[in-house]
Chain A
Amino acid sequence: MFTDRFASVFGTESFFKKQKRIALKNCGLIDPENINDYIYADGYKALGTVLTKMTPKDVVETVKASGLRGRGGAGFPTGRKWELTAQQESDEKFVVCNADEGDPGAFMDRSVVEGDPHTVIEGMAIGGYAIGSSKGVVYIRAEYPLAIKRLIKAIDDARKENFLGKNILGSNFSFDIEIRYGAGAFVCGEETALIRSIEGLRGMPKSRPPFPAAKGLFGKPTLVNNVETWANISSIIVNGVDWFSSIGIDKSKGTKVFALAGKIVNTGLAEVPMGMTLREIIYDVGGGIPNGKKFKAVQTGGPSGGCLTDKMLDTKIDYESLMQAGSIMGSGGMIVIDEDSCMVNIAKFFLQFTQDESCGKCVPCREGTKRMLEILTRITDGEGKPGDIEKLEELGNVIKKASLCGLGQSAPNPVLSTIKNFREEYEEHVYQKKCRAVVCEKLITYTINDKCIGCSACRRACPVVAITGAPKEAHTIHQELCIKCGKCFRSCKFHAIDKTSEAKEQK
């Protein structure tokens, strides 16, 4: 389901065939810096419709009936959030757009703000009307300079055309939007931390309740939604509830944008209907694994998600099914992993990220992720001890249970899910000092095979003089001296150096 314009341009590409575009309907089609282009593509029609024909309550009911759920990751029913905020009695309420996109490998929010900023502004204005707020704030990370530039221009243009400001389009409704910059702290994507950051405080989560809907920004009722959620609003209003809820499946309606990354042919942004299987998105949309390699796992939900194996490829993409399979929808990162990747190393990468980004408020998250990372580092360095895997599981479960916010509650997921699905790889690392993907440096052995012609390139490249051999004679690597830097392997033009990781005898 594309707009006619989208179909006429992109409809023929196999990458787009199984996609449906709602949040990204204008991305890649219109000039994001020209408001006329947006208006001409039926932009602000939803806002006009809402202000002409609907009461705030109608709008809330429409969003509720659509079945739209938060696209930032948690999947809370958007309409319910709107209803809760609308019900609050207060002299002032706020609408917040969460554009603090921090998951490594996820960039759908940036793409929407850079490619179609007015759709976010329109969504927020409709939200403001629905809950009775006249003030919106976009919290966007400062690392997105182009997105910020285009958003500023879009807000200015919208003000000039009276889509923002006083008495919008001649109605009684007034609404304006301000931009606040995030300094790139991952935890500020969590709504209570985000609110504190806007207030000028240190970005740390608070316990809920009270939820932002009751007591949010500056203690006032606040409606916080993610960029992608806001980008869905105008289409729901214009095309109707029936149209929207016809897309997707039971509890997950509409579409989700995924950022396909890693070992996949078509890396890119894909917006697919909920309920599509992982297999379809990886093979039909993504084009499969490059270079004839074998699929090993897919990590959904970024550093908060989990790794799913080939046995789970027929899992449907919706909030509940992914949760059941042991991962989450998250903000929509999808990293495809092939046989050349080491699962322990991948878990370490994600944990390194969350450990770095932990705000430090809760001890289990602050100290626990640190200890987990130490154990993982030890394992990948070949220093793993019996009991390490069990310790990781224990720590992970405690951190999940005892942390306040989503960051801590989900930080151990990549480790726990890789242990669950790839336990034998962990065991090989710990007990046999072997990395089957030949990734973990310290577990690799470099040896010279009989293709060696004695060119001496490796001997000259070795920084620790661990290679000996007369010119034009086969060379030898002295294992006890080798520091596994890999320089010899890269210097050899004759494929005469083998890079292996075999099970080692235990002393």
Chain B
Amino acid sequence: MSSPLAVLEAKKQQAKKNLEEIGYFSDVKIYVGMATCEIAAGSNHVMEVFQNAVKEDKSLKGVYLSQKGCAGRCNLEPTVEIYQKGKDPVKYVKVTAENAKIIIEKHIKKGEVIKEWVGK
């Protein structure tokens, strides 16, 4: 009989596979804060913009979009993080639905970081 740790290791491999399937290891990842506090600040509208874009925009194929809990930056919410392989993650703060559209166009498509919206 295999030990619980061995069972867990198999589960971890399976988890990795499952994550692979949903594009978790993609070169571009977007994380949108979706805790109660973030939603209260309007992050659900931001999420909607990203969801629609990832679904409908062909140039965003393979981009991984995920929700996340809150990191604790109440005064800066809603927050969005963009991870691009080989680059430091970029953290946008006080993101609105309008800003989200611009982030998609400028940052994700053209690689231009919009510095004035980045948190410090």
Contacts and interface: CB of A to CB of B under 8 A. Distances in A.
A115 B35 contact: yes
Contacts of A265: 75
Interface residues of A, number: 52
Contact of B67 (A32, A52, A161): A32
B19 A40 contact: yes
Contacts of B5: 45, 48-49, 51-53
Interface in B35-85: 35-37, 39, 66-76, 79, 81, 83
Contact of A15 (B15, B16, B73, B83): B73
B72 A269 contact: yes
Interface string A123-165: 0000000000000000000001011000000000000011000
Given A45-B8, A48-B4, A146 B35 contact: yes
Interface string B2-14: 1111011001100
Contact of B4 (A15, A144, A169): A169
A276 to B, nearest CB: 16
Most A CB contacts (10 A, CB to CB) among B2, B8, B24, B69 go to B69
Interface residues of B, number: 39
A352 B88 CA distance: 48
Contacts, number: 131
Contacts of B4: 47-48, 51-52, 168-171
Nearest to B65: A31
Interface stretch (A6-14, A367-375, A441-449, A453-461): A6-14
A51 B4 CA distance: 6
Contacts of A45: 5, 8
Contacts of B81: 9
Interface stretch (A106-114, A338-346, A481-489, A493-501): A106-114
Given A9-B91, A32-B67, A111 B11 contact: no
A31 B68 contact: yes
24 contacts: A8-B88, A10-B91, A14-B120, A27-B70, A28-B69, A28-B72, A30-B69, A32-B67, A33-B67, A34-B66, A36-B19, A36-B24, A37-B66, A39-B8, A44-B8, A52-B3, A52-B4, A110-B36, A111-B72, A115-B69, A146-B35, A169-B8, A268-B76, A269-B71
